[in-house]
């Protein structure tokens, strides 16, 4: 990858940004999702509205933060409310266009595990759990998952389905009664993936410049659907790189 003038964080941020349309309501977490959203605001989507689940709408953070509960993430917000005022009267009301999520594990149907991982046959480690993740996965029109491309994190089925994707073979969302659209993109440090809406299975959409297809196949714990030709992921533009490095994340804390 050394031949490229961008980092994997930068191409991931640019790929995330590209998925966002002007005027959309986006639920973001800290880190790459936030960076991708701010990049979109600074380029093609100036009227993107960022929603933090605990009750913060449309902030303009200027300092790096330790998380969503860090008031640095609430700077110059235009509305404060509660979970009910964000995940209730915006998300559950059907007005969130895109939700960004991360996870411990994602499976071939886009189901997310953020709850637990077995350490042996009768013991497990407990992690963060859902937070608003299950609600966002259930109810947002589109879900974008940003994560590291790692075989242990991309398994055929998750150990615990915290936040449903397409659930099982054939897209079972409608059957169980979920109103949101389900995962639309998975952006990793190696590739961008989408889903075949009929089967509900993950599909390789593009490979980041400098990454080999074999590398992706080796680091994915299940068979990825893919076309006969898989294009290269769009590299970040000069403008995007300038914004990311000079304006959005000048101290390089997130990317």
Give me the least distance between CB of 137 and other proteins, in Å please.
8
Q: What angle do CA 198, 200, 201 make, to 5 degrees?
A: 120
Binding residues for other proteins restricted to 132-151, rule: CB under 8 A:
132-135, 137-139
* 19 token code pair: 């998925």
Q: Per CB under 8 A, which of residues 4..23 are in contact with other proteins?
A: 23
Task: Work out how close the CB of 252 gets to other proteins at its nearest, in angstroms, rounded to a whole number.
Answer: 15
Q: Applying CB under 8 A, does 50 fall inside the site for other proteins?
A: yes
Q: What is the dihedral of CA 163, 169, 174, 176, to 10 degrees?
A: -60
- C-beta separation of 52 from 69 below 8 A: no
Are the C-beta atoms of 137 and 94 separated by less than 8 Å?
Answer: no
Tell me the C-alpha distance between 165 and 47, whole Å.
28
Rounded to whole angstroms, the Cα distance separating 103 from 109 reads 14
Q: Residues, the chain, total?
A: 255
Residue 124 contacts other proteins per CB under 8 A: yes
Does the annotation mark 53 as catalytic?
Answer: yes
Q: Find the catalytic residue in 53, 105, 218, 240.
A: 53
When asked if residue 222 is in the footprint of other proteins (CB under 8 A), the reply is no
Tokens representing 149 are 């491309």
End-to-end Cα separation, the chain, in angstroms: 16
Cβ distance to other proteins smaller for residue 60 or 237: 60
State the Cα–Cα distance between residues 170 and 68, nearest whole angstrom: 35
Q: Percent helix, strand, coil in the chain (nearest 5)?
A: 25, 25, 50
Of 127 and 222, CB closest to other proteins: 127
DSSP secondary structure code for residue 177 in this structure: T
Q: Count of residues binding other proteins (CB under 8 A)?
A: 78
* Nearer CB in complex with other proteins: 174/231: 174
Rounded to a whole number of angstroms, the minimum distance from the CB of residue 107 to other proteins is: 12
Which of the ranges 1-9, 145-153, 157-165, 195-203 carries the binding residues for other proteins, by CB under 8 A? 157-165
- Please, which residue, 36 or 38, has the CB nearer to other proteins? 38
Task: Determine, following the binding rule CB under 8 A, whether residue 167 of this chain makes contact with other proteins.
Answer: yes
Residues 169-198 that bind other proteins (CB under 8 A): 172-173, 176-179
Q: Exactly one of 88, 170, 231, 250 binds other proteins (CB under 8 A); which one?
A: 88
Q: Which of 162, 184, 188, 220 binds other proteins (CB under 8 A)?
A: 162
Residue holding tokens 């490095």?
Answer: 245
28 in contact with other proteins (CB under 8 A):
no
Q: What are the residue numbers of the active site?
A: 53
């Amino acid at each position: 990858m050394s031949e490229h003038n961008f980092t994997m964080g930068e191409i991931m941020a640019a790929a995330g940004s590209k998925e966002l349309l002007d005027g959309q309501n986006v639920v973001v977490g800290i880190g790459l999702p936030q960076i991708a959203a701010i990049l979109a605001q600074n380029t093609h989507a100036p009227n993107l509205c960022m929603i933090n689940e605990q009750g913060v709408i449309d902030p303009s953070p200027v300092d790096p933060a330790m998380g969503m509960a860090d008031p640095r993430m609430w700077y110059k917000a235009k509305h404060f409310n509660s979970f009910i005022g964000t995940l209730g009267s915006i998300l559950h009301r059907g007005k969130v266009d895109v939700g960004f999520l991360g996870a411990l594990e994602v499976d071939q149907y886009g189901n997310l595990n953020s709850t637990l991982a077995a350490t042996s046959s009768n013991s497990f480690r407990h992690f963060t759990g859902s937070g608003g993740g299950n609600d966002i996965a259930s109810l947002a029109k589109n879900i974008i998952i940003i994560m590291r491309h790692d075989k242990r994190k991309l398994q055929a089925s998750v150990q615990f389905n915290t936040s449903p994707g397409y659930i099982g073979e054939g897209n079972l969302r409608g059957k169980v009664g979920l109103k949101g659209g389900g995962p639309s993109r998975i952006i990793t440090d190696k590739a961008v993936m989408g889903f075949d809406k009929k089967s509900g299975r993950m599909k390789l959409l593009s490979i980041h410049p400098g990454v080999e297809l074999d590398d992706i196949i080796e680091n994915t714990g299940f068979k990825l659907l893919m076309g006969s030709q898989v294009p290269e992921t769009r590299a970040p533009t000069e403008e995007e790189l300038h914004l990311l490095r000079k304006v959005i994340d000048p101290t390089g804390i997130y990317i």
